[in-house]
Structure 1
Amino acid sequence: MNRSLRSPLFRVTLLLSLFAIVNACQESTAEQDTGRELRTVRLETIGQERADGVRRFVGVVDALSTVDLAFQVGGRITRMPVQQGTIVPRGELIAELDSSDYELAVREARVALDLSTLDFERNRKMLDSGAIPRATFDRAQSDQELRQLALNAAQRNLDYTRIEAPFDALVTRRIVDSFTQVQAGTAVVRVQDVTELRVHISVPESLMAMLQTPERFAVSAEISAYPGRQFPLSYREHATEADPVTQTYQVSFGLPRQDGINILPGMTATVSVQSGDAFLAPRIDVPAAALDTADDGSFRVWVFEPGEGTVSSRSVTVGALGSNRVVINSGLTPGEQVVTAGAHMLYEGMAVTPFKNAR
């Protein structure tokens, strides 16, 4: 029995069996690792710091106002000489209704007024001679005044058969076509006031202090359609209610019309705000949800390593705290990617996949 255990054949068989068992375990572990679902994380790339005292924002060009023009009376449209994309000077015709019925109403009201005026004059003379009582004269006078009001209303309705440009108007859309029957109040043309354009940007709460002294900063915009060219802007107004999602405030700047340059509402712009003040100093900030607390109580964030597909912790020092973002004084550099949600569920070297790549 002992001889068989010490025989070469037995030892070879035993080694092969052990190797097969170990190999099977390794394959099973590999299969488990391969089948393990990676945690999906949201990432944010740290923006570039600037050392030139300039902060840049993405903005959008808008009209001073957008108005849907409508007739105040009903009828059939007979003329609409404007084309989409053209600017109609203030006071020029935009659309016109068939005015024949309204012209007839004016003539009828004028005839009625003339008759009432004659009756009023007769009654006035008769009152002077004592032939009629004062009450009869008063009725004639009231009738004349009512006829005058009716004529005024008929004339006003006739005027309402024309829509004229209330300002230098950019025609953005012809809502209905010529010869369409429309009711009073039905929008027929959408126009925009482009006597001055507006450029809107979203500003974080940490920079809202600059609006108290707009003369301390210079603002310009590079329009997407005209790359490399800067257009000066002037501060106009800002919202005092923050966006409930981004916690930013809309700030509006004025952009004068440029002769020979076709800047249209809806175009994107890169707005540069330049000042030497401290509130424009370059800095890095991250969402507050990206912060995690280490065992020693210090702050850290989780940095994504794209080459390895893992995350690693990074100690940071924090500065000002906003409602949803935190200024990072040290510990991060531009271009790095940090996890912005679920930081407390991560561990060192954990394999993750960015949200945008998730299926």
Structure 2
Amino acid sequence: MSAPKSLLLAVLVLLGACREEAAPPPPVRPVLSIVATMQSTEQLGPFIGLIEPRYKTDLGFRIFGRMVARFVDVGAVLKKGEEIAVLDPAVQAAAVRSAEASLANAEAQLANTQAEEARLKDLVQRNIIPQSQYDLSRRNFETSQANVTRAGASLRKAKDALAYTQLDADFDGVVTNKWAEAGQVVNAGQKVITLARPEVREAVIAVPDRIAERLSHPNDFAITVDLDRVVSMKAAAIRAIDPIADPNTRTRNVYLTLNDPPTAFRLGITVSVTFTRPVAAHVDLPATAILEKDGKSFVWVVDVAKGTVSQRAVTVGAREGDNIAVTSGISAGERIVTAGVHSLAEGQAVKVPQ
């Protein structure tokens, strides 16, 4: 072989070796992942709510009129019978005076007809006057008696109307709201204040409609009511749930019974409420971590030491929103890929971002 040909062959061999050495290694793919945490309890919340009275009453005047004064404000503590507000009593006072005059007139007429009936009774017994004349006086006397009864009833009604110009507390309580101001003309039955019984309190929270459906069925949720994370207590039960969701917020109010709440749980205080109950052990994963193939469910488990992934079959439990409960196939502490599960291969090199 000539020297030029030998030299050319050597160059070609060297170029081939360089080409083989320059082949890049398989790329290391970064993946998103989470560390599996075993869950043995189910927790709903926390939900923010208020301490409210279970029993409260809207108080108002029984008659129409102009309110001249209101003596209480929100937060006032009232005793039964304590004065709350008054209406201008001028019209009712005049009605009382008119009714008193009518009663006096009716009583005077009764006295006259009674005397007339007694006088004519003696005369008719002696046959001095005809029976018809006596009967007429008797009817006049009975009419006068009825007039006195009617006038007395009218006077009592007028006095009641005068008493209705004063609004008093029907029971011991706390004013939680006000609806009318001094100088305002109010109708009969119109709300003036809201009076609550402070001894019976409950926690009221708003929860999404789907959660309210779960709470409305018999369950073993433990309900914790926290006040500033310092004072807390267990709620006795769910007393009631609004049957219809609010059209704007799509939430429903849940009313929680509190037995002997601490004094710190005052009316109007904001609280945080959580619902907790034991459940079968499981791992919560985002739905993007599950690979569905051939009617089975799989996840990609990251081997942190080797920097590779391996596919593993799992058993899927309940699905709620974007989360899926995996009941078997995963151990606590394992790292699970949460995105791009359809583009991975068995044993593929991966990198977990720090």
Same fold by TM-score greater than 0.5: yes
- Matching of residue 268 in structure 1 with residue 268 in structure 2: no
Contact 1:197–1:265, Cα closer than 8 Å, also in 2 = no
AA at the equivalent of 2:175? V
Q: Which residue of 2 aligns with 1:297?
A: 295
Alignment partners' CA distance in 1, 2:337 and 2:180: 51
Deviation at 1:188, TM superposition (A): 2.9
**Structure 1 residues 111-190: aligned runs within 5 Å:** 111-120=101-110, 123=113, 129=121, 130-132=134-136, 136-137=140-141, 139-178=143-182, 180-184=183-187, 185-190=189-194
Distance 1:300 1:200, change over 3 A: farther
Distance 1:147 1:249, change over 3 A: same
Alignment partners' CA distance in 2, 1:347 and 1:93: 73
**Structure 1 residues 171-210: aligned runs within 5 Å:** 171-178=175-182, 180-184=183-187, 185-201=189-205, 202=207, 204-210=212-218
**RMSD over aligned Cα atoms:** 5.1
Q: Which residue of 2 aligns with 1:86?
A: 76
Deviation at 1:295, TM superposition (A): 4.9
Render the CA deviation track for 1:271-294: whole Å, top value 9, x for unaligned: 4567xxx6x66767899x999994
Alignment partners' CA distance in 2, 1:326 and 1:348: 18
How many aligned positions are there? 276
Contact 1:123–1:132, Cα closer than 8 Å, also in 2 = no
Deviation at 1:139, TM superposition (A): 3.7
Contact 1:173–1:189, Cα closer than 8 Å, also in 2 = yes
Taking structure 1 as the reference length, what is the TM-score of the superposition?
0.56
Q: Name stretches of at least 5 consecutive residues in structure 1 with no aligned partner.
A: 1-47, 302-312, 340-345, 350-359
Render the CA deviation track for 1:295-350: whole Å, top value 9, x for unaligned: 5334689xxxxxxxxxxx9986444689x89973437999x9999xxxxxx9947x
Contact 1:53–1:281, Cα closer than 8 Å, also in 2 = no
Contact 2:113–2:137, Cα closer than 8 Å, also in 1 = no
Distance 1:258 1:148, change over 3 A: farther
SS of 1:113's equivalent in the other structure is helix
Alignment partners' CA distance in 2, 1:282 and 1:247: 30
Q: Name stretches of at least 5 consecutive residues in structure 2 with no aligned partner.
A: 1-36, 122-133, 300-310, 344-354
AA at the equivalent of 2:88? D
AA at the equivalent of 1:132? L
Distance 1:208 1:98, change over 3 A: closer
Q: Which residue of 1 aligns with 2:241?
A: 239
Distance 1:262 1:54, change over 3 A: closer
SS of 2:167's equivalent in the other structure is strand
- Matching of residue 100 in structure 1 with residue 90 in structure 2: yes
AA at the equivalent of 1:189? I
Contact 1:204–1:248, Cα closer than 8 Å, also in 2 = yes
SS of 1:328's equivalent in the other structure is strand
Taking structure 2 as the reference length, what is the TM-score of the superposition?
0.56
- Matching of residue 328 in structure 1 with residue 316 in structure 2: no
Fraction of identical pairs, as percent: 20
Q: Which residue of 2 aligns with 1:250?
A: 254
AA at the equivalent of 1:81? F
Distance 1:119 1:81, change over 3 A: same
Contact 1:205–1:248, Cα closer than 8 Å, also in 2 = no
Render the CA deviation track for 1:8-54: whole Å, top value 9, x for unaligned: xxxxxxxxxxxxxxxxxxxxxxxxxxxxxxxxxxxxxxxx9764788
Distance 1:60 1:285, change over 3 A: farther
**Structure 1 residues 56-95: aligned runs within 5 Å:** 57-61=46-50, 62-95=52-85
Alignment partners' CA distance in 2, 1:300 and 1:149: 87
Q: Which residue of 2 aligns with 1:352?
A: none
Alignment partners' CA distance in 2, 1:230 and 1:193: 22
Within the candidate set 204, 221, 226, 2:225 is matched to: 221
